[in-house]
Amino acid sequence: MLFALVLLALAVASAIPLGRAHQRTEAQQVRPALPVGLNLGRQLVGASGAQVDAAMRDVVELGASWVRVDFAWTDLEPRRGRYDWSTTDRIVAAAAERGVHVLALLTYTPPWARAPGCERFACPPASAAAFAAFAAATVARYAPRGVTSYQLWNEPNIDLFWPRPDPAAYGALVGAAVPAMRAEHAHLRVLLGGLAYTTPAGDGIAPPSFVRRACADQRCDVDAVGYDPYTYPEVPSVTGVTTPWNLLTAGGALRRSVDQVLGTDVPIWVSEFGAPVQRPGERGGRAVSEQQQASIIGTGLTLARQDPLVGGFFLNAWRDDAGAASPAGRFGLWRADGTARPAVAEVARLLAQPSSAR
């Protein structure tokens, strides 16, 4: 009789649909090691098979097991209804071969889908339904190949990546895309866009306010929130005055907003973290030395592994852009020539150690 009851219980459990709440409950029964990955962005667009394999090899040697890759709409559907999956096919296959998980960043609008008069690469889509169709097509192609984690847009709360940020419009995009995606594959992990830290003098909307306004009325059926808490040239800290990092910790303003509109069990994923490195002889500015970069990244990783409501941690970035004059092209853990910076050894050392908090 007892055996029969156990079988019945298992059968009932397997019949329960795995919606957002069920997925989070399952994941929290046994807390896994923190997912740690490398943000590749668009660095592998047009790359050769050897270059893609080199990136995956570096991820594995680092001790990480994830990559965050732009699945940019502007690359994948440059003409309405005509998809080009060649680059993402190559990346997904190389990741699968080495056991690396992919967080696919669905972002950026092709010219044909932008609002009239908007010419920037980061223009929001004129139609949330059109973006939802693109997102569903991407899930239909890649979920069967193991890509079941997706992030919706990059830093939609700042003007650089969403001109004149509009929480309601972004919320409408999420509200249209997520049901379409889940209709293609029920067992997805969907992240809200990687929100940027803002200052009062900046050109964006602070992450706590953006989340509350975008996700009012429970229209964001997401499993996590992405946040990019860059602190350079300082190391991250959870004490003292408000810092980019302590927004996401217990009691922090972003954590409180997520608790309020999404739920107290919804994790925050650090979707980008790192620091740009100075050029030889460079003085001033916010770029740092290679040793400072290693210290900033190591401290951030340590804090993330200690926080049970940090869901993932992505280092930015893989390699420097060749000949980069701007600090934006010098976030690499590896130099442009492929040689490792001290941050690589520091991350590998930390990931080789168990994390008792998780």
Identify the pLDDT of residue 65.
Answer: 96
Q: What domain range includes position 121?
A: 30-351
Q: Are 187 and 157 in contact (CB under 8 A)?
A: no
List the helix and strand counts (H, then E) for the chain: 11, 8
Residue 213 lies in a domain: yes
Give residue-wise pLDDT tens across range 231-262: 999 999 877 666 899 999 999 999 999 999 99
Of 3-17, 277-291, 302-316, the range with the lowest mean pLDDT is 3-17
Read off the CATH number of the domain in which 157 is found.
3.20.20.80
Residue 18 lies in a domain: no
Residue 356 lies in a domain: no
Please write down the long-range contacts of 161-167, taking CB distance under 8 Å and 24 or more positions apart. Answer: 161/107, 161/122, 161/196, 162/122, 162/124, 163/118, 163/120, 163/122, 163/123, 163/124, 165/204, 165/205, 165/210, 166/124, 167/205, 167/209, 167/210, 167/213, 167/214
Identify the pLDDT of residue 324.
Answer: 87
Considering the entire predicted model, what is its pTM? 0.90
Residue 73 lies in a domain: yes
Give the contacts of 280 (CB within 8 A, at least 6 positions apart): none
Helix (H) or strand (E) holding 29: helix 20-29
Give residue-wise pLDDT tens across range 31-51: 568 999 999 999 998 889 999
Whole-number mean pLDDT of the chain?
89
Please give the Cα distance from 296 to 18 (Å, whole number): 38
Identify the pLDDT of residue 32.
Answer: 65
- Work out the pLDDT band at 356, boundaries 50, 70, 90: low
Q: Residue 17: pLDDT above 60?
A: no
Identify the pLDDT of residue 131.
Answer: 98
Give the contacts of 29 (CB within 8 A, at least 6 positions apart): none
Give residue-wise pLDDT tens across range 105-150: 999 999 999 988 888 888 999 999 999 999 999 999 999 999 999 9
Residue 7 lies in a domain: no
Q: Which of 163, 162, 164, 237 is nearest to 193 (CA)?
A: 162
User: Percent of the chain scored above 90 by pLDDT?
Assistant: 78
Q: Residue 64: pLDDT above 60?
A: yes
Angle made by CA atoms 21, 68, 151, in degrees to the nearest 5: 40
Q: Is 271 helix (H, G, I), strand (E, B) or coil?
A: strand
Residue 14 lies in a domain: no
Please give the Cα distance from 74 to 141 (Å, whole number): 17
Residue 19 lies in a domain: no
**If you count them, how many residues does the chain have?**
358
Q: How many distinct structural domains can be found in the chain?
A: 1
Q: Residue 179: pLDDT above 50?
A: yes
Q: What is the mean pLDDT of residues 322-334?
A: 93
Residue 248 lies in a domain: yes
Give residue-wise pLDDT tens across range 263-293: 999 999 999 999 999 998 787 789 999 999 9
Q: Residue 1: pLDDT above 50?
A: no
